[in-house]
Amino acid sequence: MDDNTPAIAFSKVTFSYPNGKALFQDLSLELNSGEFYLVRGPSGSGKSTFLRLINRLEEPSNGHLLFAGHPLTSYSPPLLRRKILYIQQTPTSVETTVRKNLLLAFSFKNNRDLTPPGDDILRSRLDNFLLNDIHLDTQASTLSVGQLQRLCFIRGLLLNPKVLLLDEPASALDEESARIVEETAERMCVESGLTVLMVSHRTFRPGRVRHKVLQIVKGQIELLT
């Protein structure tokens, strides 16, 4: 992707609910690669929908979106969602070990070109997220919601996404663990050029990034710096 090509671009995007009420109307917006964006707005303003449009979990009623200069529709959904990773507020897991949960995406047919990381890498990632007391052979069903949230975050990052969509990623975490999640997103933005969009009601105190704010107001988005 050319340095001048936006990571994500909205072009006259309208999104309407099934009842016909428009949430976004003729929305045009460019999001630069390697930037850290906080998504703000009142309850019901469409923050989660905005993120879900970016990796086609929702489809616009009109207009289109681009990723790396190409229409979202030109990518297969599995590849798109590997490149544009969405971490939702409610963590999801399967009833098996922590190891198999972390490696779940590598078992999918569409990811057969990826090499699964070894136990040493998995162990390091768990330790970095303050999951030192969780063993790889531990059953994921025994973890708390906060631990599962961190597990899902690690699982997604193992795919090396280009864009990270975080929908209240720290809602179930204590202060220390929440800050670990935020600091990891910051570090990857700075060191790996990851584009980050984060919805959060927490007070965000960045340590490494100069973030921008996307304020959703009546179906439009104001970029605040």
* Domain spans in the chain, listed from the N-terminal domain onward: 8-224
Residues paired with 67 in a beta bridge: 8, 70
The pLDDT value recorded for residue 141 is 93
Chain centroid to CA 92: 14
pLDDT in tens, 94-142: 999 999 999 999 999 888 889 999 999 999 999 999 899 999 999 999 9
The answer, yes or no, to whether residue 2 has pLDDT greater than 60, is no
Q: What percent of the chain has pLDDT over 70?
A: 99
Instruction: State residue 18's pLDDT score.
Output: 83
Task: State the distance between the two ends of the chain, measured CA to CA, in whole angstroms.
Answer: 24
What's the whole-number average pLDDT of the chain? 91
Position 176 confidence tier, pLDDT thresholds 50, 70, 90:
confident
* Residue 91 Cα distances to 28, 118, 120, 132, angstroms: 31, 23, 24, 19
Name the nearest CA neighbour of 223 among 29, 19, 87. Answer: 29
Alpha helices (runs of H) in 105-216, residue ranges in sequence order: 119-128, 145-157, 175-192
The CATH class given to the 8-224 domain equals alpha beta
- Helices 145-157, 175-192: axis angle to 10 degrees equals 10
Instruction: Give mean pLDDT, residues 163-182.
Output: 86
DSSP per-residue codes, 119-133: HHHHHHHHHHTT-TT
Give me the pLDDT at residue 106, please.
92
- Distance CA(189)–CA(209), nearest Å, equals 8
Q: Is 52:65 a contact under the CB 8 Å cutoff?
A: no
Assess contact for 190 and 183: CB atoms under 8 A.
no
User: What is the spatial distance between Cα 118 and Cα 125, in angstroms, rounded to a whole number?
Assistant: 11
Per-residue pLDDT tens over the stretch 34-83: 999 999 998 889 999 999 999 999 999 999 999 999 999 999 998 999 99
Query: Residue 221's pLDDT is what?
Result: 93
